[in-house]
Structures are given as C-alpha cells and as structure tokens.
Amino acid sequence: MRELLRTNDVVLVSAVGALLEGANIHHLVLDNNMSILEGSAGVIPRRILVHEDDNISARRLLTEAGLAHELRDNERS
C-alpha cells in the first residue's frame, strides 16, 4: 500500500474518495474514526492509501484534478 495523502480536511478525504471510486481505484482511508478518541477536534490526519499497482494511476488522477499539492512524496509513503 502507498500513501497518497494525509489531511485533516474531511471534505478533501471525501472528494478524493469519490474521484478514486469513479476511476475504479480501490483505496483505504485510515484513521477515519479517530475523532471518537480525539473528541471530534480533527487533530489526527486521515490517510488515503492505494495498492502499489494503482499508485501511478491514482497520482495522475489527483494531479489532473488539481490536487497535486496534496499528494505525499513517494519516498515518505
């Protein structure tokens, strides 16, 4: 699995999820339910991961959608 992005913005998580689903790229959102532990403060970022085989396609999709600035560096993933 490769990390595409990490953010506290739940709207961005939703938008990226919709883009990936629309392109039939399976993804996983980690830490999505951490608000229960943090008291809904939104302090813990959500992480979106894709399978290694879908990494390039997912990055291209998000870049074309104008979200390249949100992508994590491949070396840190």
Q: What is the reported pLDDT for 60?
A: 97
Tens digit of pLDDT for each residue in 52-69? 999 999 999 999 999 999
What is the reported pLDDT for 54?
97
Q: Which domains does the chain have, with CATH numbers?
A: 2-72 (3.30.70.790)
Count of all residues that appear for the chain in the document: 77
From its phi and psi, is residue 61 left (phi > 0), alpha (psi between -120 and 50) or beta? alpha
Which residues on neighbouring strands pair with residue 47, listed in sequence order? 6, 30
Give tens-digit pLDDT for 6-34. Answer: 998 989 999 999 999 999 999 999 987 76
